[in-house]
Amino acid sequence: MREQRIMIDRFVDSYPNYFNVDMICQCTGADPEVVKDRLRHLIVGDVIRKISKHEDIYITNRGLYATRVATVHSGKWIFDIKSCQDICCLLRCSRIKSIRQLAELMKRSRQWVYLYLEALISVDAVGISKSGYYTKNMANIFKVGSVIKKGIISEMRDKMRNQPQKRRKKTTKSH
């Protein structure tokens, strides 16, 4: 099912004209229910829009695809929704403990991964635990870039380190 979503995303991203559910099903081989569900998510994320009131005909929002953010911290950084989805999928599928490890898997720079993680953690889409990074809420991906808390990664790491560990009760052995 995840492979079908990826195929649908690639089709929507690369197809230059309008399209409908049947066309996506024919070109990608995906199930119509999966296509309809994915299109609903893409409409909510403002990646595509419906251009007909009477029929299900869609077109991509080429100019509105990426969220442009202008903050003091990130300058004019562009946060791509597909890249955020890729990060969350990697975090869900594998155990990633460091930014370096995620950068190697994404084949991106550590700075790029750090900024994306900071944006994702700021909107509560990704979390940090003692075992590494994890996906919290995929629905918040579409909010990425709306708020960026500078230094949130180091704050979260410090909280994980400073949490008191649960102590075990000492049991004495009876002879």
Question: DSSP for 154-173?
Answer: HHHHHHHHHSPPPPPPP-PP
The tens-digit pLDDT sequence of the chain (175 residues) is 778 888 888 888 877 778 899 999 988 888 999 999 999 888 887 788 888 888 888 888 765 444 554 444 566 777 888 888 889 888 988 888 999 999 998 889 999 999 999 999 999 999 998 888 999 988 888 788 878 888 898 888 888 777 666 666 666 666 5
- Taking only the tens place, the pLDDT of each residue in 111-139 is 999 999 999 999 999 999 888 899 998 88
**How many Å apart are CA 8 and CA 148, to the nearest integer?**
29
CB atoms within 10 A of CB 81: 20
- Joined together, the tokens standing for residue 81 give 């929704």
Query: CA 35 to CA 33: how far, in whole Å?
Result: 5
| Contacts for 160 with CB less than 8 Å, ≥ 6 apart | 128, 129, 130
Domains and CATH numbers, the chain: 2-60 (1.10.10.10), 67-162 (1.10.10.10)
